[in-house]
């Protein structure tokens, strides 16, 4: 692999199965059957690239309290309660209250249906995991605990696909919970929607915002050797096609800044970086800001979204789509095509190489529209197929929300101006879509990710405790 992904810890899943202990002496074959189902569920979770804390099978409220303490110590990203048969809600309330983690209830009966002709009461009870789900849902609501559930049968892959969405959501929660977001430079003048209360991310997600200076990048860039510049240029030639418009000096400067950016990200242990600096008359900070695109795109490809225009909230959205496995490129509306019913969208500057339809291009630009400086920019077409937009909105009361929209990238003519570009069909009049999208509170920019992933992002919003809106 040419670019080494940023390592992240595995998510921590807590697992507990349970049923009502009163049944065990009455129906001796029931508990072994339910424990076998619990073993199968545990094995499925072990296969999900997660650290699983399986606290076993509980049969009464006391065992539920003991399991809650074990799970509290495990500091889980998600706790899964497997209701194998009827149990009382008092058995699971301590787990939801004391463990301090979001909870998913699953009830998976052994097969698609009962064999009514041969089943006795004990056999039926193995299919009775749905029975307590409304009871648990009511209690959670009364206790102020968000309720989530997946109902199905043990080997039903569609049910496991729904469970997998919650595992993806837990990955997003874990990443945002521990993320270190770099914020370097200053707000793009006049972009009031981009302005973000820096306290909001720690208080909403638990993440950290590291306020950086362009001086931090300047000193690291000045320390880059000529050999390191040559090595980075060689790397770029392997990843990008170089357009004839690329100036060699500008290319070398972008490579030098790229190495400096890597050091900045390593030194501050960054999970994302939002930046902007206007500068003046070609002074060094202006040249640094203009030389960011190559290095920021390479960082983004490694799973560290690096975004211009000081777009902190969009880098959070990009990090969410990245850890969900869907990439995520910096994006805005560029134009509408009312003949083809598509919205043309993309952005200049840093891009996520994973969403490119083919080998990306480095293009030389004499000017960056609306910005100071000049140099090399990344250009590619987004690969055709389903995509999901994800933005991080901020409302009047300061609260954050995930805002998503699903569409399909289709082929057609695109601009060749050093931007990432795409034609997205939302299955409706593009003007009406823009009106609804703009009314959602999404802001100027968002992350464009691969696949139809709104259900994943909705689940992540639930675990994060923020609103979700889909346009």
Lowest mean pLDDT among 10-14, 110-114, 328-332: 328-332
Domain range summary for the chain, segments of one domain joined by +: 11-155, 177-470
| Percent of the chain whose pLDDT exceeds 70 | 97
Per-residue pLDDT of 368-410, as tens digits, reads: 655 556 678 888 788 899 999 999 999 999 899 999 999 999 9
Average pLDDT, whole number, for the chain? 93
How would DSSP label each residue in 202-250? HHHH--EEEEE-HHHHHHHHHT--HHHHHHHHHHHHHHSEEPTT--HHH
pLDDT (mean) for 172-186: 96
Which of 93-102, 170-179, 379-388 bottoms out in mean pLDDT, i.e. has the lowest? 379-388
pLDDT tens column, 434-447 = 999 999 999 999 99
Quick one: pLDDT at residue 137? 97
Q: What angle do CA 238, 292, 384 make, to 5 degrees?
A: 55
Residue 79, pLDDT > 90, answer: yes
Question: What's the whole-number mean pLDDT along residues 13-37?
Answer: 97
DSSP label of 297: H
Other residues' Cβ atoms within 10 Å of the Cβ of residue 151: 16
The pLDDT of residue 1: 55
Confidence of residue 463 (pLDDT cuts 50, 70, 90): very high
Contacts of 180 (CB under 8 A, 6+ apart): 207, 208, 210, 268, 269, 270, 271, 272
Q: CA-to-CA distance for 261 and 421, rounded, in angstroms?
A: 25
Confidence of residue 189 (pLDDT cuts 50, 70, 90): confident
Q: Tell me: domain 11-155, CATH 3.40.50.10940, correct? A: yes
Assign 280 a pLDDT band (cuts: 50, 70, 90). confident
Percent of the chain residues past pLDDT 90, beyond the cut = 77
pLDDT tens, residue by residue, 341-376: 999 998 776 778 888 878 888 888 766 655 556 678
> In a 10 Å sphere around its CB, with 0-12 CB exposed, 13-18 middle and 19+ buried, how is residue 278 labelled?
middle
- Length of the chain equals 471
Q: Please give the structure tokens belonging to residue 242.
A: 């170089």
Compute the average pLDDT of residues 126-153: 96
Q: Among candidates 344, 437, 454, which has minimal Cα distance to 393?
A: 437
- pTM comes to 0.93
pLDDT at 257 over 90: yes
Q: For the chain, give the longest Cα–Cα distance.
A: 87
Indicate the CATH number of 177-470 among 3.40.50, 1.20.140, 3.20.14, 1.20.120.
Answer: 3.20.14
Per-residue pLDDT, 124 = 95
pLDDT at 419 > cutoff 80: no
Give the pLDDT confidence of 57-69 residue by residue, as tens digits: 999 999 999 999 9
431/413: higher pLDDT: 431
The first and second tokens of residue 368, run together, are 């960056």
Q: Is the pLDDT of residue 224 over 60?
A: yes
pLDDT of 151 > 60? The answer is yes
Q: Which of 285, 261, 286, 287 is nearest to 273 (CA)?
A: 261
């Amino acid at each position: 692999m040419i670019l080494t992904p940023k390592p992240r810890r595995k998510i921590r899943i807590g697992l507990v199965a349970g049923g009502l202990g009163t049944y065990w002496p009455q129906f001796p074959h029931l508990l072994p059957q339910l424990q076998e189902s619990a073993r199968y569920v545990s094995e499925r979770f072990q296969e999900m690239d997660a650290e699983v804390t399986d606290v076993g099978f509980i049969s009464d409220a006391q065992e539920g309290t003991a399991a809650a303490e074990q799970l509290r110590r495990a500091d889980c990203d998600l706790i899964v309660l497997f209701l194998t048969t009827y149990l009382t809600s008092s058995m699971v309330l301590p787990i939801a209250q004391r463990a301090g983690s979001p909870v998913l209830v699953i009830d998976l009966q052994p097969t698609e249906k009962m064999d009514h002709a041969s089943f006795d009461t004990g056999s039926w009870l193995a299919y009775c995991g749905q029975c307590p789900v409304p009871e648990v849902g009511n209690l959670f609501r009364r206790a102020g605990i968000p309720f989530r559930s997946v109902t199905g049968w043990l080997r039903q892959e569609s049910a496991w696909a729904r469970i997998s969405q919650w595992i993806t959501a837990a990955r997003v929660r874990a990443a945002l919970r521990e993320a270190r977001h770099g914020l370097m430079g200053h707000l793009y003048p006049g972009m009031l929607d981009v302005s973000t209360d820096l306290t909001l991310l720690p208080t909403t997600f638990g993440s950290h915002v590291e306020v950086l200076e362009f001086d931090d990048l300047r000193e690291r860039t000045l320390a880059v050797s000529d050999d390191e510049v040559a090595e980075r240029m060689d790397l770029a030639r392997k990843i990008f096609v170089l357009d004839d418009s690329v100036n060699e000096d500008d290319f070398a400067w972008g490579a030098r800044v790229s190495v400096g950016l890597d050091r900045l990200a390593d030194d501050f242990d960054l999970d994302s970086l939002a930046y902007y600096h206007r500068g003046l008359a070609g002074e060094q900070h202006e040249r640094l800001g203009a030389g960011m695109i190559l290095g920021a795109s390479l960082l983004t490809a490694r799973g560290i979204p690096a975004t211009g225009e000081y777009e902190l909230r969009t880098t959070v959205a990009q990090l969410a789509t990245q850890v969900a496995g869907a990439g995520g490129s910096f994006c805005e509306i560029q134009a509408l095509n009312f003949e083809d019913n598509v919205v043309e969208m993309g952005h200049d500057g840093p891009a996520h190489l994973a969403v490119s339809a083919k080998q990306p291009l480095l293009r030389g630009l004499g000017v960056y529209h609306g910005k100071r400086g000049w140099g090399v920019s990344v250009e590619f077409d987004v690969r055709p197929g389903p995509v999901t937009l994800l933005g991080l909105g901020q409302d009047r009361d300061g609260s954050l929300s995930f805002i998503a929209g699903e569409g399909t990238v289709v082929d057609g003519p695109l601009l060749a101006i050093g931007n990432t570009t795409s034609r997205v069909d939302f299955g409706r009049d593009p003007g009406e879509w823009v009106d609804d999208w703009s009314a959602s509170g999404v802001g100027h920019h968002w992350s464009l990710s691969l696949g139809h992933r709104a259900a994943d992002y909705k689940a992540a919003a639930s675990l994060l405790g923020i609103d979700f809106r889909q346009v």
